Amino acid sequence: MDRGTAVIELENVGYSYGGGELLSDVSIELVPGSFHFLTGPSGSGKTTLLKLCYGALLPTSGQVRVFGEDMRGLDRDQMAMLRRRIGVVHQDCRFLDHLPLADNIALPLTVSGREAEQEGGDLKELMEWVGLSSRASALPPELSGGERQRAALARAVIMSPDVILADEPTGNVDWEMSQRLLKLLVELNKMGKTVLIASHDLALIRAAKSQVSVRVLRITNRKLQLAGADL
């Protein structure tokens, strides 16, 4: 594969902290429009690997390239511009509790200097897409777990990123809501977005495989491997 075709590339990446090695010799290429699941036991490094993919962490060894750029060579402004092309759904989706939901979802627009008012049509359409139109004025503490996760996804994609990274997006919701969130992520993938989901939910992975072409990666003993077809 040509390097120019990968949106995110990790080459022989290792990551250590506190004197211990968490990831070792990890290599992966995410090509445009691909859909990956990342699995592994708790504490194996799934969240760390996602953070390496969007520059929240830099590797102890090896190289991370995002959209062809070596993450080590970017200054703060360059990193900020690059991150606008990556939407991240965090495991602990945090919101500003004093702001209505619509304003929370629009925060990336505000931070980037784009006026949320000018993007009002897109925001309204996005909230309809995730099924939260009726909750636009609700405050985050009033939301259910499923509503929070859908809001987190909406916030992650409001800048129309090329890549969506999701860390256990269905970890705190029931199966019905998991299916709804998966459907949204599959729709994004069918629009050409690259999707990487960290999850230990094998049923969710099987459900995804029935809808879209999926590669499953597993972290085992600090290494990243392609999981077998038995999933």
Q: How does pLDDT run across 58-74, given as a tens digit for each residue?
A: 999 999 999 999 999 99
Whole-model pTM? 0.91
230: confidence class by pLDDT, cuts 50, 70, 90:
very low
Question: What's residue 114's pLDDT?
Answer: 63
Contact at 8 Å (CB) between 36 and 30? yes
Residue 226, pLDDT score: 80
The Cα 89–Cα 166 span in angstroms is 5
More confidently predicted of 117 and 51: 51
pLDDT of 116 strictly over 60: no
The whole-number pLDDT of residue 29 equals: 93
Domains, in order of start, for the chain: 1-85+161-231 (3.40.50.300), 95-160 (no CATH)
Whole-number average pLDDT of the chain: 89
Q: Above 50 in pLDDT, residue 131?
A: yes
* Average pLDDT estimate for 212-222: 93
Predicted confidence at residue 17, as pLDDT, reads 83
Tell the burial category of 14 from Cβ atoms under 10 Å away from its Cβ (0-12, 13-18, 19+).
middle
Portion of the chain with pLDDT greater than 90, in percent:
65
Token pair 């200097």 is found at 113
The runs of H, that is alpha helices, within the chain are: 46-54, 76-83, 101-105, 107-111, 120-129, 145-157, 175-190, 202-209
Largest CA distance in the chain: 50
